[in-house]
Amino acid sequence: MLLTSDRLINKFSDYNCILAYETAAEFLGLFVGYAINNKADEIFVLEEKPINNTKQYLIQNFNNKDYFEKNGIYCTTEEQTLIDLVDQDGDIQVILESLADYYFRHNNSFDGIDVPPVLSERFNKYCEWAIDYYNEWGLITKKEWELMQLKYPSID
């Protein structure tokens, strides 16, 4: 079985698109993904692409997104991904897990995220919930999280 990043690299390296939303969060390691991955991969595109099992979001240009290139594919940055997830207001598990992972990776801080004023109230609400996400659900302690990060470093 391919790792998520390898699967996405194989699928998208021949296309001019940017990994978006949950797919970007998964590629960045902010979200572990779904146990059964039959969900469509989400991408930003300038024009529709002939790629199976994708949800494509048409945008005017890529200049309004912060993104980077890795191994031949483009992905929104961690910060852009979080802003997009909060703006989309979709799957709360994805949002909270992604925000919590970012928070712990960045020394218990969300300071690197430039939140548009229109999203600040929603973003702050999610941030409050995200800080306690792992403890609240009894999933993992901060120490276990730190040990896990040593074992599975981010893709930076």
- Inform me whether the pLDDT recorded for 24 exceeds 70: yes
Q: How far apart are CA 150 and CA 41, in angstroms?
A: 28
Answer whether residue 156 is part of any domain.
Answer: no
- Mean pLDDT value of segment 12-35: 91
Tens-digit pLDDT profile for residues 109-142: 999 999 999 999 999 999 988 988 766 555 555 5
Answer whether residue 106 is part of any domain.
Answer: yes
- Inform me whether the pLDDT recorded for 55 exceeds 60: yes
Answer whether residue 112 is part of any domain.
Answer: yes
Domain that holds residue 83: 4-151
Rounded (5°) CA angle 78-82-86 = 170
Tens-digit pLDDT profile for residues 86-117: 999 989 999 999 999 999 889 889 999 999 99
pLDDT at 104: 87
The domain total for the chain is 1
